[in-house]
Amino acid sequence: MRTVIRQRPCDSLDDISHQLREAFLALRQAIEAENPVVIVVSAPDLLGQDSLEGAALATGLVGLMRAATFEGSGKGWRVNVLAIDPEAEPPAEMLDIATQNGSLNGQILNLGSGHFGKIVP
Protein backbone atom coordinates (compact mmCIF):
# COMPACT_ATOMS: atom_id res chain seq x y z
CA MET A 1 0.00 0.00 0.00
CA ARG A 2 1.09 3.54 -0.65
CA THR A 3 -0.45 6.90 0.12
CA VAL A 4 -0.65 9.52 -2.61
CA ILE A 5 -1.35 13.09 -1.50
CA ARG A 6 -2.18 15.41 -4.36
CA GLN A 7 -2.13 19.19 -4.51
CA ARG A 8 -5.40 20.56 -5.87
CA PRO A 9 -5.99 23.94 -7.51
CA CYS A 10 -5.84 26.59 -4.82
CA ASP A 11 -7.08 30.16 -4.90
CA SER A 12 -7.37 31.37 -1.32
CA LEU A 13 -5.38 31.54 1.90
CA ASP A 14 -8.05 29.43 3.59
CA ASP A 15 -7.56 26.76 0.96
CA ILE A 16 -3.79 26.74 1.54
CA SER A 17 -4.45 26.13 5.23
CA HIS A 18 -7.04 23.46 4.46
CA GLN A 19 -4.88 21.54 1.98
CA LEU A 20 -1.77 21.70 4.18
CA ARG A 21 -3.71 20.40 7.18
CA GLU A 22 -5.20 17.60 5.07
CA ALA A 23 -1.74 16.65 3.84
CA PHE A 24 -0.30 16.74 7.36
CA LEU A 25 -3.04 14.45 8.67
CA ALA A 26 -2.83 12.09 5.69
CA LEU A 27 0.95 11.90 6.02
CA ARG A 28 0.72 11.08 9.70
CA GLN A 29 -1.88 8.42 9.07
CA ALA A 30 0.30 6.89 6.37
CA ILE A 31 3.31 6.83 8.66
CA GLU A 32 1.32 5.10 11.37
CA ALA A 33 0.21 2.52 8.78
CA GLU A 34 3.86 2.23 7.61
CA ASN A 35 2.86 3.21 4.09
CA PRO A 36 5.30 5.03 1.81
CA VAL A 37 4.04 8.44 0.71
CA VAL A 38 4.20 10.39 -2.52
CA ILE A 39 3.11 14.02 -2.51
CA VAL A 40 2.16 15.14 -6.01
CA VAL A 41 2.56 18.86 -6.66
CA SER A 42 2.36 21.21 -9.59
CA ALA A 43 5.81 21.69 -11.14
CA PRO A 44 5.15 25.29 -12.29
CA ASP A 45 4.03 26.16 -8.76
CA LEU A 46 7.41 25.10 -7.38
CA LEU A 47 8.92 27.93 -9.40
CA GLY A 48 6.14 30.39 -8.62
CA GLN A 49 5.00 30.43 -12.23
CA ASP A 50 1.29 30.28 -11.51
CA SER A 51 -0.72 31.68 -8.59
CA LEU A 52 0.68 33.04 -5.32
CA GLU A 53 -1.49 30.59 -3.41
CA GLY A 54 -0.51 27.59 -5.50
CA ALA A 55 3.18 28.41 -5.11
CA ALA A 56 2.93 28.72 -1.33
CA LEU A 57 1.02 25.46 -1.18
CA ALA A 58 3.37 23.50 -3.45
CA THR A 59 6.56 24.56 -1.67
CA GLY A 60 4.83 24.13 1.69
CA LEU A 61 4.14 20.52 0.72
CA VAL A 62 7.80 20.10 -0.20
CA GLY A 63 8.67 21.38 3.27
CA LEU A 64 6.31 18.87 4.84
CA MET A 65 8.00 16.09 2.90
CA ARG A 66 11.45 17.27 4.01
CA ALA A 67 10.40 17.55 7.65
CA ALA A 68 8.98 14.03 7.61
CA THR A 69 12.07 12.62 5.94
CA PHE A 70 14.38 14.41 8.33
CA GLU A 71 12.48 13.05 11.28
CA GLY A 72 11.69 9.59 10.06
CA SER A 73 14.29 8.35 7.60
CA GLY A 74 15.97 6.38 10.40
CA LYS A 75 12.63 4.82 11.30
CA GLY A 76 11.91 3.67 7.77
CA TRP A 77 9.50 6.41 6.79
CA ARG A 78 9.63 7.07 3.05
CA VAL A 79 8.26 10.30 1.62
CA ASN A 80 8.98 11.83 -1.76
CA VAL A 81 7.53 14.58 -3.92
CA LEU A 82 6.55 14.10 -7.54
CA ALA A 83 6.26 17.36 -9.46
CA ILE A 84 4.22 17.20 -12.66
CA ASP A 85 2.50 19.53 -15.08
CA PRO A 86 -0.86 20.62 -13.65
CA GLU A 87 -3.03 18.85 -16.23
CA ALA A 88 -1.02 15.63 -16.16
CA GLU A 89 -1.70 12.46 -14.23
CA PRO A 90 1.15 11.06 -12.16
CA PRO A 91 2.64 8.14 -14.14
CA ALA A 92 2.17 4.85 -12.32
CA GLU A 93 5.79 3.85 -12.91
CA MET A 94 7.00 7.04 -11.21
CA LEU A 95 4.75 6.39 -8.24
CA ASP A 96 6.31 2.92 -8.09
CA ILE A 97 9.81 4.34 -8.18
CA ALA A 98 8.99 6.93 -5.55
CA THR A 99 7.64 4.35 -3.16
CA GLN A 100 9.62 1.21 -3.89
CA ASN A 101 13.19 2.35 -4.43
CA GLY A 102 14.86 1.85 -1.09
CA SER A 103 17.41 4.63 -1.40
CA LEU A 104 15.04 7.26 -2.74
CA ASN A 105 13.80 9.36 0.14
CA GLY A 106 13.16 13.05 0.74
CA GLN A 107 13.55 13.89 -2.94
CA ILE A 108 11.71 15.92 -5.54
CA LEU A 109 11.21 13.96 -8.75
CA ASN A 110 10.47 16.64 -11.29
CA LEU A 111 8.61 15.60 -14.44
CA GLY A 112 7.53 19.15 -15.24
CA SER A 113 8.29 20.28 -18.77
CA GLY A 114 9.37 23.79 -17.82
CA HIS A 115 12.13 23.35 -15.27
CA PHE A 116 15.16 23.29 -17.55
CA GLY A 117 17.53 26.12 -16.78
CA LYS A 118 15.62 27.06 -13.64
CA ILE A 119 16.62 26.90 -10.01
CA VAL A 120 16.48 23.67 -8.07
CA PRO A 121 13.38 23.96 -5.84
Q: Kindly determine how many residues on this chain lie close enough to bind other proteins according to the rule CB under 8 A.
A: 38
CB 8 within 8 A of CB 50: no
CB 35 within 8 A of CB 77: no
β pairing state of 79-84 and 3-6: unpaired
Q: Which helix (H) or strand (E) holds 97?
A: helix 92-100
Q: Which one, of 68, 66, 61, lies nearest residue 19 by Cα?
A: 61
For other proteins, the binding residues in 44-103 under the rule CB under 8 A are: 45-52, 54-64, 66-72
Q: How far apart are the first and last CA of the chain?
A: 28
C-beta of 85: minimal distance to other proteins in Å?
17
Asked if 108 touches other proteins (CB under 8 A), the answer is no
Query: Residue 63 or residue 91: which is nearer to other proteins going by CB?
Result: 63
Q: Which region among 1-9, 14-22, 86-94, 95-103 touches other proteins (by CB under 8 A)?
A: 14-22
> What is the contact surface with other proteins in residues (CB under 8 A)?
13, 16-17, 20-21, 24-25, 27-28, 31-32, 45-52, 54-64, 66-72, 106
